[in-house]
Amino acid sequence: MDIDRRRLLRTSTAALASVTLAPSLAMAAASLPSALGRDASQYGVRPNGADDQTRALQRAIDDCARAQVPLALPPGTYRTGLLRLPHGAQIIGVAGASRLQLTNGPSLFESQGGNGIRLTRLVLDGAGLPLATRRGLVHCLQGEDLRIADCEIMASGGAGIWFENVGGEVRGNRIHDIATTAVISFDARGLAVGQNTIRACNVNGVEILRSAPGDDGTLVTDNRIEGIKAGPGGSGQYGNAINAFRAGNVIVRGNRISDCDYSAVRGNSAANIQIVGNSVSSVREVALYSEFSFEGAVIASNTVDGAAVGVSVCNFNEGGRLATVQGNVIRNLLPKRPAGTAPDDDAGIGIYVEADTAVSGNVIENAPAFGIIAGWGNYLRDVAITGNVVRNALVGIGVSVVPGAGTAVVSGNMISGAAGGAIVGLDHAKPVSGDLTREGASRFQQIALGTNTVR
């Protein structure tokens, strides 16, 4: 049978083209927003115009949610007022290029009772417009399985994200230049806040709150948080990277935190909080805090470089008790707290604890006042201070010895360069004894003094 040479060449060339061009065409198609869902332009939405796009955007959101398909926003800036997110709404853009800019209204996005909502690869720009108290640029109430991922949230005149009774995930976002707090959650229903970059907030970085004490279980993990200011002032309720209030069983793990006016992590009446494996530098009050009426705290394997106090586990008078402070590296403590704190609040302390607490395996270096303190007046009970290394503190370890104070065990510690005494008795923050490790020193019944190494 004769073979037509020209036909063979045409067929071979076409086949080769289909092999070589198909992958690139597929990649190009996949990169188009319309390949991710319904293109917003189908609904008359137009980028980069001076006109307000609220009505067209809302129609597109509602229609796509009913059809259970994502709404895809091509690159460009979309000027808009409040957009409501119904059940199942999904909006996806091109990272760094699909910008929704607030022109008016209480928030940019709002949902009430919507489940399965997704916001992905969008720039949400609040344009610095003031929001009402207790409002976020993204404002969601009563919802399950909400996800905000890979977005940039910026220039909010209130909070960045405000959740109430919400479960879901806030992950991989950049949140910055926020008038109040980047992420606020009240009464979470299973929430994860992870791998976000948060900076330049004027109140707090992340707040995990409950209207009454109870189980919360939010995970705050692997975030980078920096530049948190205490804009409204106060004595510690503002200027914190992460703040858990009344929220039980919160895990704060693996975060990189720097440049905060007050604390890196502050647990207030937060039972069973875990503060583990965080890297903290340049905070100006207590770096890692468990305070007021909590029961149960684990503060372990953190590094703190630069703070007024490294770790504080306190307020036994309010019911604060039961903790372990283990394996932390704390150094370069500051001699003063910031202006506005209570005048009797001390600084230059590595670790401070009061009740039912084990302090073990920590390394503390360069503390202008105390390496470790146990107790405040008669607020001391069942504290074990064992196996720690304290270097270059004015006083290595101080233990309350006032009448009514409970018992502390101090044993197996290495204390070096403590010019004011390796282990001393205290009346509040005032030394009232000499160095208890010296031969012939006075003894106090409430201090079980074992073998410590001093040089």
* Predicted confidence (pLDDT) per residue in 106-161, tens digit: 999 999 999 999 999 999 999 999 999 999 999 999 999 999 999 999 999 999 99
pLDDT at 345: 72
Residue-wise pLDDT for 232-280, tens only, equals: 988 889 999 999 999 999 999 999 999 999 999 999 999 999 999 999 9
Higher model confidence: residue 49 or residue 275?
275
pLDDT surpasses 60 at 330: yes
pLDDT surpasses 50 at 7: no
Residue-wise pLDDT for 355-391, tens only, equals: 999 999 999 999 999 999 999 999 999 999 999 999 9
| C-alpha to C-alpha distance for 293 and 316, rounded to whole angstroms | 8
pLDDT at 33: 55
pLDDT surpasses 50 at 351: yes
Question: What is the mean predicted confidence (pLDDT) over 52-76?
Answer: 97
CA 221 remoteness from chain centre: 7
pLDDT at 442: 83
Contact 390, 418 (CB under 8 A): yes
pLDDT surpasses 80 at 316: yes
pLDDT surpasses 80 at 23: no
Q: What is the pTM of this model?
A: 0.91
CA 101 remoteness from chain centre: 26
Mapped onto helix, strand or coil, the DSSP state of residue 182 is strand
| C-alpha to C-alpha distance for 255 and 264, rounded to whole angstroms | 9
Confidence class for position 34, pLDDT limits 50, 70, 90: low
How far apart, in Å, do the first and last CA atoms of the chain sit? 101
Mean pLDDT over all residues of the chain?
92
Instruction: Determine the length of the chain.
Output: 455
pLDDT at 21: 33
pLDDT at 164: 98
Task: Give the residue from 47, 142, 35 showing the smallest Cα distance to 92.
Answer: 35
Residue-wise pLDDT for 162-217, tens only, equals: 999 999 999 999 999 999 999 999 999 999 999 999 999 999 999 999 999 999 99
Higher model confidence: residue 305 or residue 37?
305
Q: Give φ, ψ of 297 to 5 degrees.
A: -150, 135
Contact 408, 447 (CB under 8 A): yes
Q: What contacts 214, CB < 8 A, 6 or more positions away? A: 246, 247, 248
> In DSSP terms, which residues pair with 299 in a beta bridge?
275, 325
| C-alpha to C-alpha distance for 201 and 242, rounded to whole angstroms | 12
Residue 134, Cβ neighbours under 10 Å: how many? 13
User: What percent of the chain clears pLDDT 70, i.e. is strictly above it?
Assistant: 91
pLDDT at 29: 38
Contact 101, 128 (CB under 8 A): no
pLDDT at 341: 64
Confidence class for position 344, pLDDT limits 50, 70, 90: low
Contact 191, 164 (CB under 8 A): no
Tell me which residue has tokens 């229609």: 63
pLDDT at 212: 97
pLDDT at 25: 34
Tell me which residue has tokens 């220039």: 155
Q: Where are the beta strands (DSSP E) in 65-190?
A: 71-72, 76-80, 83-84, 90-92, 98-102, 109-112, 118-120, 123-125, 136-149, 152-156, 159-171, 174-178, 181-186
pLDDT at 342: 59
pLDDT at 238: 96
In a 10 Å sphere around its CB, with 0-12 CB exposed, 13-18 middle and 19+ buried, how is residue 81 labelled? middle
| C-alpha to C-alpha distance for 20 and 439, rounded to whole angstroms | 86
Residue-wise pLDDT for 231-245, tens only, equals: 998 888 999 999 999
pLDDT at 13: 36
How wide is the angle at C-alpha 385 spanned by C-alphas 381 and 390, nearest 5°?
135
pLDDT surpasses 60 at 2: no
